[in-house]
Amino acid sequence: MPKKFYITTPVYYVNDAPHIGHTYTTVAADVLARWHRSIGEETFFLTGTDEHGAKIEEKARGLKLEPKKYADEIAEKFKEAWRQLNISNDNFLRTTDPAHIKAVEKALQSMYDKGDVYLGKYQGLYCRGCEQYKNERDLADGLCPDHKVAPEKMSEECYNFKLSKYQDELLKLIKKDKLKILPLNRKNEIVSFFETEGLEDVSFSRKNVGWGIPIPWDKSHTVYVWADAFLNYLTGLGWDGTTPLTRGAGGLDFWPPTVQLMSKDILRVHATIWPAMLLSLDLPLPQAIFVHGYFQINGQKMSKSLGNVIAPGDLIKKYGVDASRYLIMSAAVFGHDGDIGWGKFDEKYNADLANGLGNLVARASSLIGKNRLELRLKIDSDKKLIKKYKELMEDYKFNEALKLLWRKLKESDETLSETKPWKLEDKREIKNIIEPVAQNILNVVNLLKPFMPSVSEKIIQQFTAKKIVKGEALFPRI
Ligand code: MSP
């Protein structure tokens, strides 16, 4: 039986079009999905949109649109962005899909029947940007640190979820890496949160938010948007809301997720409410959560609410699809924040792609073409390189994996600059220099496929053709 690999991104809010922060998570998930497919694992890659709740309702009403109509428009923008970026997701789940809604109703009902959801009251603060209940200690100068607005005071009847009941069990599972939180500093953060603050019950319904899934046993409430959204990870595989999960049915074979990607803004809810819901539903927990850092511009998190975003479409227009994917994945250490900006992208594009990969491929192929050299090249011949690359990929060290490949390209560049084969006459001599260079290019681009699928394929075709010739410039200089 081939190994199974199930990877998810968060379902993104449709309060605005996608920016390259969302793109970062989605491209990283795509790189992993493509890589796991390439090593023969049965892979399922899920992404989608989170469409209910007060934030979306407010945004839609402000535009004088019905929330669903508004959500349709933005969901389409997400789909289109991922299509453009060549994202290989197996499903795109919208939380307004009727099948998802039905499953959420069933899941909530079974948690209620079990006694894990009970009628109570919430009195406190709420940040609509986060769609989260807040404590004073979560705020900085009275403001939500992520959204820079004062949370609203709320007091309403609601159905609470017994999160506190699962505190001890969850902490044990996290400590023992049964639910692995990566990188390690994030795990430590969560463990310390459990130990110092602990889990309080959380409101799972809203009385004054109409744009949501009605609570099945009390239609005067709607389901809290996070409770609704988390279940996407199950419904995206075709789960119908009945527990225990029936194995063997379609995508459900993939449960539980091998890894769930996100950035730190939503780690805490993913390490508390989400796994507690699964325990309540008697379902296996995800194996791992990987938390990457923020893309920042001038030290500020890039976000829709702060209005400092770069759209994926703008990146693609300037650099092309594969180059955009490369620039995004090499912009930061995966797991750390990274400062980005047009200047940095231009520089990296010119250095690594125009003058780097592009120039090397052009020099090598033109020498081969001009001299009509017949080469014997093999894909996959550098086992040492493959081993190192694999180790880095398994550790989610994407930008280091790219650096490793670029060091190999540089070796070939140096060989050409030192030996200057374009000045030589003897074909045999030229071939002796060029053959290993071409072989190296082929080895590198074969490993580059998850990051730059089209360009890699193009170069592989070029260098495995009967007659190798110089093609069009891959990355015109900016
Ligand atoms: N709808 C919730 C998630 C529900 S999942 C059950 C949500 N949506 S969101 O649109 O705000 O997306 C947040 C996620 O987008 C982050 O966790 C991260 O994956 C990605 N990013 C958004 N801005 C980002 C940066 N500036 N930098 C890096 N990633 C960013 O939260």
Active-site residue, selected from the candidate residues 106, 187, 221, 301: 301
Are both 40 and 101 inside the same structural domain?
A: yes
Find the 241 Cα to ligand 1 centroid distance in Å. 25
Instruction: Give me the pLDDT at residue 148, please.
Output: 87
Query: Is 326 part of a structural domain of the chain?
Result: no
**Single-letter residue type at 102:** K
Please identify which residue in the block is written with the tokens 């180790």.
391
Query: Is 310 part of a structural domain of the chain?
Result: no
Are both 286 and 377 inside the same structural domain?
A: no
Query: Is 332 part of a structural domain of the chain?
Result: no
Are both 219 and 350 inside the same structural domain?
A: no
The first and second tokens of residue 8, run together, are 């998810």
Query: Is 253 part of a structural domain of the chain?
Result: yes
What's the CA gap between 202 and 313, in Å, rounded? 38
Neighbouring CB atoms inside 10 A of 142's CB total 10
Are both 346 and 286 inside the same structural domain?
A: no
- Told to judge if 304 belongs to the known catalytic residues of this protein, a careful annotator would answer yes
Are both 286 and 351 inside the same structural domain?
A: no
- Told to judge if 221 belongs to the known catalytic residues of this protein, a careful annotator would answer no
Q: Give yes or no for residue 230 CB within 6 A of ligand 1.
A: yes
Query: Is 79 part of a structural domain of the chain?
Result: yes
Domain that residue 130 falls in = 4-292
Segments of the chain with pLDDT less than 70: 243-251
Please state the atom number of ligand 1 nearest to the C-alpha of residue 304. Answer: 23
Are both 192 and 262 inside the same structural domain?
A: yes
Query: Is 307 part of a structural domain of the chain?
Result: no
In this predicted model, what pLDDT tens digit does every residue of 371-412 receive, in sequence order?
999 998 998 889 999 999 999 999 999 999 999 999 999 999
Please state the atom number of ligand 1 nearest to the C-alpha of residue 261. Answer: 19
Instruction: Give me the pLDDT at residue 366, please.
Output: 96
Query: Closest residue (by CA) to atom 30 of ligand 1?
Result: 21
What's the CA gap between 119 and 107, in Å, rounded? 17
Query: Residue 299: CB partners within 8 Å, gap ≥ 6?
Result: 339
Are both 270 and 348 inside the same structural domain?
A: no
Instruction: Give me the pLDDT at residue 302, please.
Output: 85
Domain count, the chain: 2
What's the CA gap between 5 and 44, in Å, rounded? 6
Query: Is 301 part of a structural domain of the chain?
Result: no
Identify the CATH number of the domain in which residue 24 sits: 3.40.50.620
Tell me which DSSP letter residue 143 carries: B
Find the 62 Cα to ligand 1 centroid distance in Å. 23
Instruction: Give me the pLDDT at residue 146, please.
Output: 84
Identify the CATH number of the domain in which residue 372 sits: 1.10.730.10
